[in-house]
Amino acid sequence: MRSMRNVWRRSGALALLLILIIPVLAACGGQQPAAQPTAAPAQPTAAPAQPTTAPAAQRGGRLKILYWQAVTTLNPHLATGTKDFDGATVILEPLARYNENDELVPFLAAEIPTVENGGVAADGTSVTWKIKPGLKWSDGSDFTVEDIIFTWQYCADPATACTTKAVFDPIANVEKVDDTTVKITWKEPNAYPYISFVGPNGMILQKKQFEKCIGAAASTDAACQAANLAPIGTNAWKLKEFKPGDVVIYERNPFFRDADNVFFDEVEIKGGGDATSAARAVCETEEVDFSWNLQIPKAVLEPILASGKCDPLAGGSFGVERIVVNFSNPDPALGDKRSEPDQPHPFLTDPAVRKAISLAIDRKAIAEQLYGPTGKPTCNVLVVPASVNSPNLTCERDVEAAKKLLEDAGWKLNGAVREKNGVRLVVNFQTSINPLRQSTQAIIKSNLAEIGIQVNVKAIDAAVFFGGDVGNPDTLNKFYADLQMYTNGPNSADPQQYLQGWLCSERASAANQWNGNNDGRYCNPEFDALFDQLKKELDLKKRAELAIKMNDLLVTDGAVIPLINRQTPNAKVKALKGPTFNTFDSSIWNIASWSK
Amino acid sequence: MAQYVLRRVLIAIPTLFIISVVIFAILALAPGDPLAQFALNPAIPESTRELIRIQFGLDQPWYVRYVKWLTALVRGDWGFSFSTRGPVIDLIWQRLPQTLIVVGTAYVIAVLMAIPIGVISAVKQYSVFDQVATFIAFIGFSVPSFFTGLALMLVFAINLKWFPIVYNSTLNLAGWDGIVEQVRQMTLPVTVLVVQQTAALTRFMRSSMLDNLPLDYVRTARAKGLADRMVIIRHVLRNSMIPVVTLIALGIPTIFAGAIITENLFRVNGIGQLLITSIQNSDTPVVMAITFIFACLTVVFNLIADVLYGVLDPRVRYG
């Protein structure tokens, strides 16, 4: 009897559990077909909840944007991340912005100055911008060239601590020519005239609002703190509400020059959470219209995109994932002399070893298995703008050729690892902690094992690896390893600043507090000579030719091993029109022209 | 009693001082850079980042920074956040309502559910109800919130579309629609938190009841002929509540700290989310303020719990 009661008790409990679990299971089961990317995406049966409103071009409504990082300040010059530049983009404008084809489009400027129209001095010493007449700030006051001059003064003061200071550094003076014309004079002749007041780093602040905020007051004065969170701008919307680290809501700016053609009444940028659920919010639940930077492993991203409700926007370049080769010796036995430029690496200085590594890596497998829609294999370290993407190089995997190279150079197999004169080909390979990078490390480790190079992998917290802490041994600048992997790319359509990172004079060392851009400690007089030529060359076409030459030299010399051109996609709902990918500017650079 | 409270408050001052030194030192010694995101941006060279670090005072040794922080705090200034360049205290005030609403609601629901469940489980020990409650409590205990959160999100938000996955902190709560929407968006995060907190409290309540049930005074009450319900509610429950009330009091400061994972998952702009993003961005002043306020609240509620203990249990005397 007693045992009988126990049985009843147990089964009663079981029944209760089942009741709890069944709806969950049912819902999971319902999810299966939707997750299959093979299912025909055109079936309209799968959308019961969302009755799509007729997309007749009815203006108004709120444009909802979701970032997985939240905007924390709306003053772009004090930004701490891309999200801050983008948050400011809805309000503020530079003179010109880059479009998806890496061409400049005038925003506050009336036209792009060139040598032909007389805007750019032929000797490269100055550039003259004309602004559109009759521009107004969102408070109704006039936009003047004084505001442009002020923005330069604001950031030129080191105490303001502008994040964007570097684009203002080359300026010697900004002066008013007339009410709509401003002349920028450079400290030294500049081949590329579009450095300042262009793109996300060049947005212009209102002088009236920030006048008292030059210097330390920018961050400490109460009025300036308030201004940083609510700048007055010239773009299609003005600030309605801002909760730093959470959400920004913008409303129409009635003084916008083209206010009649702005579609949305309000714009919302919500931040936080993770990239995967951000992708789901646009592609599956359609709660938002646009979502930024979906850095998600291929296996997760592809089924989400396959829902057919959204379009991924990818293209251009988010940077090139590359392996940097250490030309100096990171042996801990050297103590203070570790990874100093004057200590040559025991085997990576041998070009055969560098080329063999590059030949052995299976870029295609890394791109297809790990990156999917977020990256393409590349042989170049300079891929954007398209005019400087070298067509000359190939980097097909060839294990036999790699083995032969090593064999001919005298590196003989001893067990599984090659050696020469007692030096064994064992490399330490470091990168930041990121599942994608660790998977890439694993593929490369097995690739190199095939040709007799043993790889010891190491993963470092991203804040440490990319942080410039002089006291920390694990930064990429110190480079206490043989190989390291990360993504980098040029920040403007002109590659000069980027190519500077392989100059002998830029080698990172204790003497410059590891501040040099050349973390591989590569030094080649031939490259330096080409760079000197580039610096003096003012003709844009010849500059592009030189840049390609330099890219080819770096890659064929094995100074750096390019792997993947990363094209991290944004996503938009199908009904939203206007968003494009963008390499050198904000993802929402043309937001004023978006519609639904 | 007053003397006891006074003594405890005086002891709290050096405790808080030591806590603040330790937190500050840990934050200062931990690696990180507020501008690490720009580390590889050629437009923002290392020299610019160094300049910004100097403006933030990060070039000074940590003890100098600590003294500066403390003297500012004595004047009531919590400093400015590195990522918003606005006052830290504004950020906390802005975040507090969402945390109180979401985490606070979850806590209240958890307490209201845990006490009756715990009582019934104990009174009807080994019944079907007890078995199921125990089973669910162990699920709540052992399944981490990032899992329950993701599972609920997948089922109820993405597949069934009953609830949104993006929390909207700008709803207009004046109208009926706003309130409905607010309840809708709170459902999932609150559920995740309730599952966890109820689990712990239920077990406590149950074992505390079980401790009291076989005691002599219960038998006496029953022998007097009191109704069973009366015995449980008036006698056993009251005595069993003593340890549970202190536990509940000690749990109140954690409401302030928010729920880091749940808030982040559902994009609730609470204190927990602020804390974790500030840690990630090395925004020391914000981290310092939140952890220190949390430490103060813990000390205060510890004291309250101790005092409550004396009020509830006449056997405890303060000397």
Query: What's the pLDDT tens digit per position in B235-263?
Result: 899 889 888 888 888 888 888 877 888 99
Of A50, A72, A243, the CB nearest to B169: A243
Per-residue pLDDT, averaged over B43-68, amounts to: 84
Instruction: Give Cα A514 distance to the centre of its chain.
Output: 23
Cis peptide before A385 (omega within 30 of 0): yes
Per-residue pLDDT, averaged over B220-227, amounts to: 90
How high is the pLDDT of residue A241?
93
Q: Check B45 against A517: CB less than 8 A apart.
A: yes
> Which tokens in the block code for residue A344?
């040559």
Residue B163's Cβ-count burial label (10 Å; 0-12, 13-18, 19+) is: buried
Q: A22 and chain B: CB distance < 8 Å anywhere? A: no
How high is the pLDDT of residue A81?
84
Mind listing the pLDDT tens digit for each residue in B169-181? 888 888 888 899 9
To the nearest whole angstrom, how far is the Cα of A306 from the nearest Cα of chain B?
Answer: 15
pLDDT confidence band for A463 (50 / 70 / 90): confident
Residues of B in contact with A464 (CB under 8 A): 31-32
Of A13, A72, A500, the CB nearest to B132: A13
**Residue environment code for A273-310, b if the CB has 16+ CB neighbours within 10 A, otherwise e:** bebbbbbbbbbbbbbbbbbbbbbbbbeebeebbbbbbb
How high is the pLDDT of residue B145?
87
Q: B97 and chain A: CB distance < 8 Å anywhere? A: no
pLDDT > 70 in chain A, percent: 90
The rounded mean pLDDT for chain B is 88
Is the pLDDT at A328 greater than 90, yes or no? yes
Long-range contacts (CB closer than 8 Å, 24 or more residues apart) made by A438-444:
A439/A369, A439/A370, A440/A321, A440/A366, A440/A370, A440/A485, A440/A563, A441/A485, A443/A362, A443/A365, A443/A366, A443/A369, A443/A370, A444/A323, A444/A361, A444/A366
pLDDT confidence band for B230 (50 / 70 / 90): confident
Question: Whole-angstrom Cα distance, residue A514 to residue A336?
Answer: 13
To the nearest whole angstrom, how far is the Cα of A353 from the nearest Cα of chain B?
Answer: 27
Mind listing the pLDDT tens digit for each residue in B72-125? 999 988 988 988 888 999 999 999 998 999 999 999 999 999 999 999 999 999
How high is the pLDDT of residue A537?
87
Interface pTM, i.e. ipTM: 0.83
Q: B158 and chain A: CB distance < 8 Å anywhere? A: yes
Would you give the DSSP letter of residue A538? -
Mind listing the pLDDT tens digit for each residue in A338-357? 999 999 999 999 999 999 99
Q: Check A27 against B160: CB less than 8 A apart.
A: yes
Question: Of A126-130, A333-337, A459-463, B304-308, which has the strongest mean pLDDT?
Answer: A126-130
If you count residue pairs, one on A and one on B, with CB atoms under 8 Å apart, how many are there?
211
Question: Whole-angstrom Cα distance, residue B117 to residue A355?
Answer: 69
Other CB atoms closer than 10 Å to residue A204's CB: what's the count?
25
Mutate to test the interface with A, among B29, B50, B52, B91 (most CBs of A within 10 A): B52
Helix ranges (H only) for A363-483 are 363-365, 399-408, 435-450, 462-466
At what angle are helices B2-29 and B62-74 packed, to 10 degrees?
140
Among A329-338, A527-536, A575-584, B167-176, which is the least confidently predicted range?
B167-176
> Which tokens in the block code for residue A547?
């840049």
Q: A487 and chain B: CB distance < 8 Å anywhere? A: yes
Q: Do the Cβ atoms of B140 and B198 come closer than 8 Å?
A: yes
Q: Check A164 against B49: CB less than 8 A apart.
A: no
Question: Whole-angstrom Cα distance, residue B39 to residue A220?
Answer: 25
Q: A473 and chain B: CB distance < 8 Å anywhere? A: no
- The sign of the CA dihedral B242, B244, B246, B252 is negative
Taking the model in full, what pTM does it have? 0.83
Residues of A in contact with B166 (CB under 8 A): 66, 270, 273, 281, 287-288
Sheet with A247-252, edge to edge strand ranges: A237-243, A247-252, A266-270, A62-66, A290-291, A570-573, A310-313
> Which tokens in the block code for residue A456?
């010891």
Of B32, B41, B159, the CB nearest to A467: B32
Mind listing the pLDDT tens digit for each residue in B129-184? 999 999 999 988 898 888 999 999 999 998 898 999 889 888 888 888 889 999 99
Question: Whole-angstrom Cα distance, residue A245 to residue B91?
Answer: 9
pLDDT confidence band for A186 (50 / 70 / 90): very high
Residue A57's Cβ-count burial label (10 Å; 0-12, 13-18, 19+) is: exposed
Per-residue pLDDT, averaged over B297-301, amounts to: 90
Of A27, A163, A167, the CB nearest to B159: A27
pLDDT confidence band for B312 (50 / 70 / 90): confident
How high is the pLDDT of residue B71?
93
Q: Check B80 against A158: CB less than 8 A apart.
A: no
Q: A490 and chain B: CB distance < 8 Å anywhere? A: yes
Among A285-289, A359-363, A566-570, B215-219, which is the least confidently predicted range?
A566-570
pLDDT confidence band for A31 (50 / 70 / 90): very low
Is the pLDDT at A68 greater than 70, yes or no? yes
Of B33, B157, B166, the CB nearest to A468: B33
How high is the pLDDT of residue B39?
67
The residue in chain B having the minimum alpha-carbon distance to the alpha carbon of residue A24 is B155
Is the pLDDT at A412 greater than 90, yes or no? yes
| Greatest distance between any 2 Cα atoms in chain B | 85
